[in-house]
Structure 1
Amino acid sequence: MPRHLAPRPLQNRSILLTLASALAFALSACSGNAPAERPPLEGAAIGGDFTLTGKDGKAVRYADFAGRYRVIYFGYTFCPDVCPLDVQHLMQGFHAFAKDKPELATRVVPLFITVDPARDTPENVGKFAANFGPELVGLTGSPEQIAKVAKAFAVYYQKRDGTSPDAYLMDHSRAAYLMGPDGKPIALLPAEQDGKAVAAELAKWVR
């Protein structure tokens, strides 16, 4: 072969590197190593520390559950339909997730926070929560405390006029948050759907 047609060592090395890169890319594509999906609420200004009251009348802080995933739902115990149904779906999903992945479920704590502190005493939220399972933590507080935590979690609520001071309904946001071990928001849980949908979303994000 004429000398001027002989491949140079540098050219050989460049060709090999190009082929190796192409092969690595092809293998990666075949194995499905796509970038992990980012949490839909990542970076959202939702959440923050709070202090409320548990069923025994003792103070409960958001920070008490640091290092664990937190499922947070805002509602009220006198709600005639939506709140009980949403909480039922949340806890059905949690229990299904716990059955499938018991070790991971120990890292999740579900919280029910009232938006009706005038009627929802610690005893009332405790009894309400107990209807759905011992894992659900019911929380109440003063009107000022509830207003502060609702604002931190971007939750709307408003009292409707009733037939008497104790007979009224509450309008409120219908949202169930999944918060990470660091206390930051991850995703909304589909409590308006069913337990199966909630379990699937928990399995997607809880690690």
Structure 2
Amino acid sequence: MFFNTRRFLFSVSVILASAACSPDKPKFNAIDITGADYAKGFTSTDHNGQNRSLSDFKGKIVVLFFGYTQCPDVCPTSMMELAEVKRLLGADAEKLQGIFVTVDPTRDTAELLKAYMTNFDPTFIAFIPTPEQLAVVAKDYKIYYKKVDGKTPTSYTVDHSAGSYVYDTRGNVRLYSRYGSGAKVLAQDIQTLLNTTP
């Protein structure tokens, strides 16, 4: 009896190990956060004045980034990379939706954000949460942002998290892409999601 039990447990461990190493599980360059109980989405006004939520974009891969228009380096670099990702996707380019969430709703007006998005790609959309909404969203998304005073009341900067969240075509959060990973790497992950998500 002891032998049979041990053999059974061994068989179960082999099955579990095989499942864990299954080639069916997609491999990503970014951090795989499939099944995360955070970053599940929110509703906000976009730069066109419409009330939008992530569920509006089901059927597309959504890449969501937090930033602000007066950011000197990280934000424009990230948005340029996302525009390059779209180019690299070729025929699948229309399946990508870039979303920029401002962490500076005081200065980032709808007009300013619309011009900012158009500068990178006219299909990209900016969300403009109120300061109160932003505090809630930042907590849910585990992102950091903090106003840093400048020489004048309006010349402040905002320190903030620099990664991007990636959602599959069903609207489920799947990946966290670190800043600086590069357009080719992100494009590969998006293509993998498109190929493995029904």
TM > 0.5: yes
Pair 1:37-2:37 in alignment: no
Alignment partner, residue 107 of structure 2: 119
Q: Is the CA contact (8 Å cut-off) linking 2:61 and 2:190 kept in structure 1? A: no
**Rg larger in 1 or in 2?**
1
Structure 1 unaligned spans of 5+ = 1-32
Name the SS of the counterpart of 2:159 in structure 1: strand
Q: Quick check: 1:52–1:59 contact (8 Å CA) kept in 2? A: yes
Cα RMSD, aligned residues only:
1.9
CA contact (8 A) 2:98 2:123 kept: yes
Identity within the alignment, %: 32
State the Cα distance separating 1:188 from its structure 2 match: 2.3
Q: Structure 1: how far apart are the matches of 2:117 and 2:179?
A: 16
Distance across 2 between alignment mates of 1:94 and 1:139: 20
Equivalent pairs counted in the alignment come to: 171
In the alignment, residue 92 of structure 1 is paired with which amino acid? E
After superposing on structure 2, the runs of 4+ consecutive aligned residues of structure 1 that deviate more than 4 Å are none
Identify the residue that residue 7 of structure 2 maps to in structure 1. Answer: none
Counterpart amino acid of 2:165? Y
Question: When the two structures are superposed, what TM-score results if normalisation uses the length of structure 2?
Answer: 0.78
Paired position in structure 2 for 1:175: 163
Structure 2 residue runs of 5 or longer lacking an equivalent are 1-21
- Residue in structure 2 matched with residue 11 of structure 1 by the alignment: none
| 1-structure distance, mates of 2:190, 2:179 | 12
Does residue 151 in structure 1 map to residue 139 in structure 2?
A: yes
TM-score, normalised relative to structure 1: 0.75
Deviation of the 1:120 alpha carbon: 0.6
User: 2:70 is matched by which residue type in structure 1?
Assistant: F
Q: Residue 66 of structure 2 contacts residue 103 of structure 2 at CA under 8 Å; is this kept in 1? A: yes
Q: What secondary structure sits across from 1:152 in the alignment?
A: helix
Match of 1:66 in 2: 58
Matched-pair contact (CA < 8 Å) for 1:117–1:143: yes
Q: Deviations over 1:73-96 (max 9, x none)?
A: 111001011110111112211221
